[in-house]
Homo-oligomer: A and B are copies of this chain.
Amino acid sequence: MTKTIEFYFDFSSPYGYLGAQRIQELAEKHQRVIDWQPVLLGVIFKVSGQAPLTTFPLKGDYAIMDFQRSARELNLPYVHPKKFPIATVAAARSVWWVKEHDDSAIHSLTTALVQAFFKAYYVDGQDLGDAEVVLETAASVGIDRDALANAVQEDAVKERLKTAVSDALDKKVFGSPMMIVDGESFWGNDRIEQLDRWLSRGGW
């Protein structure tokens, strides 16, 4: 079985977006599959005693500057969303529903959906907290809009996301992006180079 890179993130995390743009190349390089794990940072922050980065004096302003400076270095488009942070429940539920039906060995449809959501929010200036935006974006990658609209209201799908957040907490996930390989955790977009070295060297 192909090994994974578990990629925990919240769509409302700019570093999650930046990390997601680079993790696919890294996964291919190390012949791993990305296991997309959308979670809800709001729930996680209650457990870990944190708050959204941009709400802190001084640190918040730096963060908004740094999202953009980091994107520029990586030649990635980034437009800081007007509405930030947002509730990402609908987007996260959508991914979990699609993922459970995604038979592709490399999770192609799940990956396409994750990237489409990120693009809508961080590139195209759309409000991903809006259920209509979620449905339209999903439709743009070929997902049945009506089926998804029903799915995100189903108890089973709601429970799937709750379980995912609970499982993430069990694995001590406290931020976004957090990447776990063979039980080893790496937190932050700025740790992707370190993760690359870890996988190349087989740890240290």
A47 CB contact (under 8 Å) in B48, B58, B169: B58
A172 on interface, CB distance cutoff 8 Å: yes
Q: B62 near A58 (CB under 8 angstroms)?
A: no
A187 CB contact (under 8 Å) in B48, B62, B172: B62
Q: Which size class do A's interface residues fall under?
A: 20 to 34
A188 on interface, CB distance cutoff 8 Å: yes
Most buried by B among A50, A55, A188: A50
Q: A73 near B194 (CB under 8 angstroms)?
A: yes
Chain A interface SS verdict (over half)? helix
Q: Chain B contacts of A62 at CB under 8 A? A: 172, 174, 185, 187
A61 on interface, CB distance cutoff 8 Å: yes
Q: Give Cα A70 to B197, complex, Å.
A: 12
Q: Give Cα A191 to B190, complex, Å.
A: 7
Q: B174 near A59 (CB under 8 angstroms)?
A: yes
Q: Chain B contacts of A55 at CB under 8 A? A: 49
List the B residue with the shortest CB-CB distance to A66: B187
Within 8 A of B (CB), among A132-172: 169, 172
The distance from the CB of A134 to the nearest CB of chain B, in whole angstroms, is 28
List the B residue with the shortest CB-CB distance to A193: B193
Q: Give Cα A174 to B62, complex, Å.
A: 9
Q: Give Cα A169 to B58, complex, Å.
A: 8
A174 CB contact (under 8 Å) in B56, B172, B173, B194: B56
Hey, what's the 0/1 contact readout for A59-78 against B, CB within 8 Å counting as 1?
10110001001101100000
Q: Chain B contacts of A194 at CB under 8 A? A: 70, 73, 190
15 A-B pairs with C-beta separation under 8 A: A48-B57, A49-B55, A49-B56, A57-B174, A58-B169, A58-B172, A58-B174, A59-B174, A62-B174, A62-B185, A69-B204, A70-B194, A73-B204, A190-B190, A190-B191
Interface residues of A (CB under 8 A from B): 47-50, 55-59, 61-62, 66, 69-70, 72-73, 169, 172-175, 185, 187-188, 190-191, 193-194, 197, 204
